[in-house]
A = this chain, B = another copy of it.
């Protein structure tokens, strides 16, 4: 049985030592003092450790089943979902007027992390509801908000997002689902949607499907797409549930992982739908909350690496195999624990330094979202738009890589389902795909975000890195191990951006051929910046006489590892980018 302990202290460190959330000049942040955030994280951690984690293997093994049109979730899921509802964990950052607690998004994100590590498939039921809530909140009419949001905030009703169809995913302009206007102002929605997470289940009274569809006669392609509310059960005027709508589950998909979540093929057969916002503006409505949704998926990436890492460490300390080459560490025993071996440490340090850096990056991103929304700060909004594809693409690629690396520590036992390490890797794999496959994230970053608002946001990003380096270069402890590598990596990133500018004009393929490398480069620079700041915060804590010397020293040592061992990847990515499109585009399609 795999273990899990919510990394409460590490989360608290990011919120308080690094981001100093209590001191931020953002409406609602006054509450976020150390005592409050610690109390929230402690409670979230308890639920994750005691309620969700024990159901992770159950969810994987049992999966969801479809019987006579009804989806059953794995044993124990319903009871656990009740615990989540009762604890208010589904309502944390939702608006108070609809029953939420109105807390900042960064607090919500920090509390979510252990839930995702403990049971990713389970947590998606509320995650999707949160996404649907946000879209209705931003674009729905007052009547729609009154009707649906209070029940969605509590997860009495859950939500889904219906975008993909069998023949189209990324290119939603090809969509075939139709919404035919009716005399009463409603629409009849017909078509098939696939890969619908939490598409149906037995843990809520009603399911509010948000469905993208085309109104006949509208513009071609993506400009003719509208967004609809299609409830599983129609909702009467008084809020009670009415008749069953024309929506049914075609099948549950057999997937590589996240078996605990019911990923459904959904069939809409003249189902009654209610337009959200304006006709043909569906994409805008669906993508308003894109930054949050993608940040949430990035979080899934590193959260799976976190739980896999915890297990790998436990196994490396427990499993006796071979001897330390510099002298036995467990001379009384038949062998030394795995953790004495340098290559095991190299692997564990890769995982640890990534996960902790990724956590800081994600929470910083969440803070930027709060600043953008609560302060209506356009610069923060531009910066988080720039960083979103990096958060999603880089953190899920690396999250999967390190979940797999943790599995490797177990040797053959890592491949046996009984030990649970395979599940972490299989579950983490989806995060690279959904909410925009990572290649699409790279395209979004290089093809769109770099040049957005005249390149203002990427320049601001570079300025931020430069300013931090400059302000701290008198700090000898930071300079060598942190600032110098950060400067070098940032220079590589700027050189890549320069290459795109100089060559992408003549031929955009010169830029797009390097988009994936650029996304990874930028991820490294972001994590490098986070580590430099975390090291600084740790040094300050130690100088200030913090009692937990061990904790802060580990942070600094882990950061030094990241800067020394991970940041050099930027040089490789730059070298690849500088070769342009020639070798990438050389073959005819038939020559592959």
Spell out A's residues near B (CB within 8 Å): 164, 167-171, 173-174, 194-195, 253-257, 313, 316-317, 320-322, 325-326, 334-335, 337, 339-349, 352, 400, 404, 407-408, 411-412, 414-418, 422, 425-426, 429-430, 432-434, 437-439, 442-443, 447, 507-509, 512-513, 515-516, 550, 553-554, 557-558, 560-561, 564-565, 568-569, 571-572, 575-576, 579, 581, 583-587, 589, 591-592
A568-B576, A571-B575, A583-B565 are contacts. A589–B408 as well, Cβ < 8 Å?
no
> Would B429 and A411 count as touching, CB distance under 8 A?
no
State A416–B437 Cα separation when bound (angstroms): 15
Q: What residues on B are CB-neighbors of A325 within 8 Å?
A: 447, 508-509, 512
Of the candidates B257, B344, B412, which one forms a contact with A434 in the assembled complex, judged by CB atoms under 8 Å apart? B412
A321 touches B587 (CB 8 A): no
B residues within 8 A CB of A415?
Answer: 255-257, 429-430, 433
> How far apart are the CA atoms of A516 and B342 in the complex, in Å?
10
A351: min CB distance to chain B, Å: 9
A513 contacts B170, C-beta separation under 8 Å:
no
CA distance A340 to B564 in the complex (A): 38
| Closest beta carbon of chain B to A56's beta carbon, Å | 16
Complex: A168 Cα to B519 Cα, angstroms: 41
Can you sample 26 A-B contacts with CB below 8 Å? A167-B320, A169-B411, A170-B322, A253-B416, A254-B418, A256-B415, A256-B426, A337-B589, A342-B584, A345-B584, A346-B516, A348-B592, A400-B404, A408-B438, A411-B433, A412-B433, A426-B426, A550-B591, A553-B591, A560-B586, A561-B584, A561-B586, A564-B579, A565-B579, A569-B572, A571-B572
Chain A interface SS verdict (over half) = helix
Establish whether residues B326 and A508, one from each chain, have CB atoms under 8 Å apart when the complex forms: yes
Query: Which B residues touch A317, using CB under 8 A?
Result: 589, 592
- Evaluate contact between B587 and A558: CB separation under 8 angstroms: yes
In angstroms, how far is the closest chain B Cβ from the Cβ of A503? 13
The residues of B that contact A173 with a CB separation of less than 8 Å are 335
A5 to B352, CA, bound (A): 42
| Interface pair B586/A439, CB less than 8 Å apart | no
Contacts of A195 in B (CB 8 A): 412, 416
Residue of B nearest to A353 (CB): B583
Report the Cα distance A591→B553, complex, angstroms. 9
Closest to A195 in B: B412
Cβ of A512 and Cβ of B343 under 8 Å apart? yes
How far is it, in angstroms, between the C-alpha of A260 and the C-alpha of B318 when the chains are bound? Answer: 32
B557 A568 Cβ-Cβ under 8 A = no
Known contacts A561-B584, A583-B557, A584-B342, A408 near B433 by CB under 8 Å: yes
- How far does the alpha carbon of A561 sit from the alpha carbon of B592 in the complex, in Å? 13
Contacts beyond the supplied A254-B417, A257-B415, A408-B432: 12 A-B pairs with Cβ under 8 Å:
A168-B321, A195-B416, A255-B417, A256-B416, A256-B422, A341-B443, A345-B584, A400-B404, A412-B433, A557-B591, A560-B586, A564-B576
User: Is A326 a contact partner of B509 (Cβ separation < 8 A)?
Assistant: yes
Complex Cα distance, B265 from A416, in Å, reads: 12
Across the interface, A513 reaches (CB within 8 A) one of B346, B432, B516, B557, namely B346
- Shortest CB–CB separation between residue A334 and chain B, in angstroms? 6
Chain B nearest CB from A164 CB (Å) reads 6
- Assembly CA distance A587 to B342 (angstroms): 12
